[in-house]
Every structure is written in structure tokens, then in C-alpha cells.
Structure 1
């Protein structure tokens, strides 16, 4: 299968590189600026003893070379509208689109443009970030992909896609209920992101102060209540893992959204928090802590739109979670 990876950042670049290493037919659709970096330095993965340098096959929106069998969409939600237009020429009647974005709103946008039958659901877990040189830095060992049909159940198509993604150095699974898996990832990433945003620091910063060890679990309870109201309750063992993650003493973990916030960059505030809290209101579920994080992020976005810099900087340089 011809595979097109839309975006070659910390997530798409990592999985695309591993697929290329495994001998798959991989092309990256990138913006001109990113293309220049990759042509000059190569696609590099470092960290945890890794030192990989690949020469990626690149196209831009202006040079898309025909239709692809599988399109992996791995961009920030804020870049999704432009990415949809950029990739349109690569999507044909037989193309399967697999998005790796947080939240749920992206499915509606992709379904509207390409049709729900062409779009799978997807969840990824990877601990990577981009450094100042544009290289992908591994911060932790987990790396896996879960995909599935939006309507649920099994299909020959999703099994074929899973097969072509497998055997590349990361785990691949097919979920019979991918929307459930996506909601559970949403609970995790919104809990972590809200905690980071409210304390302006990493998990360990929150846990180190009186009352901080209770904040993460309270946020998780709010997010889980929204998921349950949406028909996707989080099992207690899974919710327990979320609580454990956001109460680890000394943890330097943060969400990638928070790193964007700390760096004074646009965040996925509306896609992760605005959408979640709007659904909470529609369900009649109170989410005061998630609401507070949403307002804080909206203030940040408003400052950026007005040309002002972020107010304050974090005291720690934590790891990223995507």
C-alpha cells in the first residue's frame, strides 16, 4: 500500500519513520518550511539511545503525486482545516483515512470532507517531542496505534490497514469500539492537560504542594462523567490508571498542549477542552475544574490573537505526552 503521512512532527514523523524503516512505501506531506528542514537534516529520531537518520520522501500540497491507499493524518487540531485541503488530491475512492488527533471534533470535519465510510477512528500513544533543530526526541518507550471502524465491529479493510502498519517497531491493535477508545484517550489527555494548565507545571509540581495530590483525580472524575454521559463510561481499572498517572510524586510529565502553552504557541484548547465542556453542558454534567482550565487557555489564545506574549513561564521543563 502507498502510505501518506500528513505531518512529520513528533507523532507523524515518528510513526512514519518507523514504517519507512520497516520497508513500507511511505511519503510525508509537509509544509514548505518543514520540507526544507527535513531535506537539510533528514528525518532524525534521537533520545533513549536512539540515533536514526532517514531520507524521507516528501511532497507538499502543490506536489501531491496521485492517490494513496492509506492517509495517516497526524497534525495539530489547529492545523486540520488546512491539512484537509492539502491532502484532498491524495484521497480517492479507495483511500482509507486514519486520523491521530485528540478529542472527537476532527471526525466530523474529516467525515464532511471525505465521507464517513472513508475515515477510520484512531488512537496513538507516544512520548516524543520536537527539539529546536526539528528532530524527534523520544522521551519514553510506549508507542502504539489502535484503529477501528467508526461504526464499530470488524472489517476486512481495517484488518488490511492494521497489517500494513504492523511489524514496524510499535504495537498495532484493532478496536471493535474505536469511539470508546477515543473517548478514554480524551479523558486522559484532558485530565493531564487541565492539571498542567491549572498549576502551570508538571504532575510533580502539583503533587508537591498541599492539596495538589487530589487535583488530578478530581479533574479525571469530571472528564469521566462526561464520557459516561456520552455513552462511553471509563472502566474503573482504566480510570485508576489515569489517577495514578496524575498523582506520581516527582513526575515531570505534561501534555503536549501544555508545552505549547508554556512556549507561547497556539494550543488545541477548543478541540480538547472547549468541545468537552460544551458536551458536558449539553449533558447537564458539572465540570468546574475543566471549565477553569478552558477559560485559562482561552485567555492565552486571546493574548496570542492580540499579538501579546504569554503571561508567566513555568518553572520546570517536563516531558511531553501525546
Structure 2
């Protein structure tokens, strides 16, 4: 299979190296010193106490790559609209696009049974750039449970977890999603095929609360979960998010206290939103929080605590230059 990974940083580089080593025809789209190092020395993957070196094609020019069987997008959600145009050269008539981004996706309502079928989310896809330019019919959903880092240009260090849950928006176990899952499994990943929207909500359930609270308090997730005051705020936000999700037909397979305890057990983890704030990088506020607020208003479910925390974290991000002013 021809697989292009668009955004070959920590997660994309980890995926690409393993798939390449398993014999897939992989191309990585990257940039800067990281790209140069991968072009010169291959992708060095530090995993399970050993170093593995993969040599996929590495480039910053998608137009030189040609049509792919799968394009796996591992950028942050707010970066995707900017790559829709250059992605076009990667598309053939049957190319699938795997959206391995955090938070709720722009295609969430595609073919979703009910009154909101094919509704577009302005907070995630202003002007419908992704809906029109990628097309929801190409999409395979992906929920990432993996942690890795770019320890230096060209070097990916795998930290923990290796699960990439896959699913069609329709819920069908099509040949294209089963074929991709087999390739992931052969490369050493866990890749269950499931109802992807429920999976997305379970992961988002923690992110909608713990990410913005961590950015506002500068604390790690274990501290937030242990402190009675911040735990209570997080739980209230999660209950609001659950009510929105269930109004849209999603179901949660675990208890909220168990979910919070699981987050606490992660330990002194600095959320991605806090890390981005510290470095002045754009923060994933819209995919993790704003979209929940937008959906709540659609289904007439109030989200008062989410609204307050969202307003505060937006202002904090704007002051840091990590969120658009307009």
C-alpha cells in the first residue's frame, strides 16, 4: 500500500517508521531541520530499549509524491485547513484520508442518523474548507492513544501506548478500514475497528476539562484530579460534555469517577494545551472545547461551566499569542 503521513512529527514519525519497517510504501511530509535529518539519516525510532532506523521517502512537497491509498493526517486540527490545497495531489479516486487529530472532527455529522445529519461545524471547519476540499466520504476516523516525542531532529522516542482505534463514520467495517487495521497490526500497533464517535467522546471526555484547566492553573493532570476544587470543576465540565454527547446519540462505556481516576493515574503529565501555551504555539482550544459548546447549543443542552472555562482559556491563549484574536 502507498501511505502518506502528513505531519511527520512525534506521532506521525512513529507511525511512519513502524509502517515502513513493516514493508509498507511510506512517504512522510515534514519540514525544517527534522525533515533534513530524516532525509539524510532516515527516521531513528527509539523504542523498547533499541534503536530502529527506517528509510521512507521524506519530503516537504506533496506534489512530488503522487496519489496514495491512504493519507494519514497527524497535524493538530487547526493546522489542517492550511494543507487542504497541497493535499490534492495525493488524492486518487479511492484515496482514504485518516484523520488522526485530537478532539471532535470536522466531519462528525457526516451520515449521522438524525436531524443533524451532514451538519457542518463552523468552529472546526470555517467556510467548509475541509468538507469541500477533502470530502467526508474519504474519511476514516482515528483515535490516538500513543505518546512519543521528537527528542532531536530525525529522532522519535516512543514513550508509551500504541493504540490507534479506527472506524468509518458510517460504523461499517469496510474493506478499506479492515485493510488499514491489518497493516497497523503488522507494524506492531493495536488497531481495533470500532464505532468511532463513541471512542472520540471517551477520549475527549477528559480533554475537554483537563486541558483548559491545566493551561489556566499551570498544573499537571494528577494534581488537578487530586485537588477537590479543580476535580469538582473538571467533573462538572465532563458531565456537561456527556450530556451533549448523549443528546447526539453517543454512549459512554465507563463511569465518570473511573475516567477521572484513570487520568490521575497517568501521573505528572503536562497536557498538550499547557505545553503549547508554554511554547507560544497555537492551542487546540476549538477541537477540544469550542466544538462541545457549539454542539451543546445545537441540541439545547446548557454548558455553563464549559462556557466560563472556555472564555478564560481563550483569553489566556490570546495574551500568549497562541489563539487568534478574531
Scaled by the length of structure 1, what TM-score is found? 0.83
Listed one character per residue, the Cα deviations across residues 75-116 of structure 1 (whole Å, up to 9, x for unaligned) are 011210122222210111021111101223433654422332
Give unpaired runs (5+ residues) of structure 2: 108-119, 121-128
The 5-angstrom pairing of residues 1-322 of structure 1 reads: 1-32=1-32, 34-40=34-40, 42-46=42-46, 49-61=49-61, 63-107=63-107, 110-131=130-151, 133=153, 135-140=155-160, 142-175=161-194, 177-207=195-225, 209-237=227-255, 239-248=256-265, 251-305=267-321
TM-align CA RMSD: 2.6
Residue 32 (structure 1) shift: 4.9
Please give the alpha-carbon distance, in whole angstroms, between the structure 2 residues aligned to 1:54 and 1:306.
34
* Contact kept in structure 2, 1:121 and 1:149, CA below 8 Å: yes
Please give the alpha-carbon distance, in whole angstroms, between the structure 2 residues aligned to 1:116 and 1:7.
20
Give unpaired runs (5+ residues) of structure 1: 308-322
Residue 7 (structure 1) shift: 0.8
Which region of structure 1 is more displaced relative to structure 2, 196-205 or 44-53? 44-53
Please give the alpha-carbon distance, in whole angstroms, between the structure 2 residues aligned to 1:235 and 1:9.
32
Residue 36 (structure 1) shift: 2.2
Number of residue pairs aligned between Structure 1 and Structure 2: 303
* Contact kept in structure 2, 1:3 and 1:72, CA below 8 Å: yes
Residue 292 (structure 1) shift: 3.1
Residue 47 (structure 1) shift: 6.5
**SS of the residue 2:14 aligns to:** helix
Cα distance change of structure 1 residues 302 and 114 upon mapping to structure 2, 3 Å threshold:
same
Scaled by the length of structure 2, what TM-score is found? 0.83
Residue 198 (structure 1) shift: 3.6
Cα distance change of structure 1 residues 247 and 58 upon mapping to structure 2, 3 Å threshold:
closer
**SS of the residue 1:211 aligns to:** helix
**SS of the residue 2:170 aligns to:** coil
**SS of the residue 1:173 aligns to:** coil
Which region of structure 1 is more displaced relative to structure 2, 10-19 or 216-225? 216-225
Residue 62 (structure 1) shift: 5.5
Listed one character per residue, the Cα deviations across residues 19-42 of structure 1 (whole Å, up to 9, x for unaligned) are 112121111122355422433554
